[in-house]
Amino acid sequence: MARFDHHTLTRLAEADEIEMRTPRGDGTPTSRPIWVVVVDHEAYVRSYAGEHGAWYRRVRRDGTAEVGVEGETVAVRAVPTAGEHDAEISDAYHAKYGRRSPGPTEAMVTPPVVATTLRLEPADG
């Protein structure tokens, strides 16, 4: 498993949102703002729309994407976590976003959304 360098991991941890960039079926790029959390030096994302999220379906199909974080573009590989660290990741969502957005944060820790947890890794790692 590849890990992000300290600089990139810090930017991901501190970012309010990142841009998940995936190509549509016709190849045109699309970008969607999503939340990201870092747990034990690894970055995780979830699809607010569950398995119906378009970016989620594309990244699951392709396995790779780009994320925009604070003006930088980072090529990533998205790895399904299959229930690994669900509670810790949910706790991280509560800690990072809970006070500011309680409704959306609660949605991020429901079973259909938790099932979409992906670990982001550097694509070139």
Is 124 buried (19+), middle (13-18) or exposed (0-12) by CB count in 10 A?
A: exposed
The answer as to whether 1 is a domain residue is no
23-53 pLDDT, tens per residue? 988 989 899 999 999 999 999 999 999 999 9
Q: How many domains would you assign to the chain?
A: 1
Task: Identify whether the C-beta of residue 49 lies closer than 8 Å to the C-beta of residue 34.
Answer: no
β-strand 42-45 against 64-69: which pairing, if any? unpaired
**The pLDDT value given to residue 103:** 84
β-strand 36-39 against 42-45: which pairing, if any? antiparallel
Provide the residue range defining the domain that includes 73: 6-95+105-122
**Whole-number CA gyration radius for the chain:** 13
The answer as to whether 66 is a domain residue is yes
What amino acid is encoded at 91 in this protein? D
The answer as to whether 82 is a domain residue is yes
The alpha carbon of 120 is separated from its chain's Cα centroid by a whole number of angstroms, namely 7
58-69 pLDDT, tens per residue? 999 999 999 999
Looking up tokens 């607010």, which residue turns up? 48
Name the percent of the chain lying above pLDDT 70. Answer: 99
5-19 pLDDT, tens per residue? 999 999 999 999 999
The answer as to whether 28 is a domain residue is yes
The answer as to whether 64 is a domain residue is yes
**The pLDDT value given to residue 125:** 64
Name the percent of the chain lying above pLDDT 90. Answer: 82
Instruction: Write out the two tokens for 112.
Output: 């259909």
**The pLDDT value given to residue 21:** 96
Domain with residue 78: its CATH number is: 2.30.110.10
The alpha carbon of 77 is separated from its chain's Cα centroid by a whole number of angstroms, namely 11
* Arithmetic mean of pLDDT over the chain: 93
Per-residue pLDDT for 2 more than 80? Answer: yes
The answer as to whether 89 is a domain residue is yes
The answer as to whether 19 is a domain residue is yes
**Helix, strand, or coil (residue 45):** strand
The answer as to whether 100 is a domain residue is no
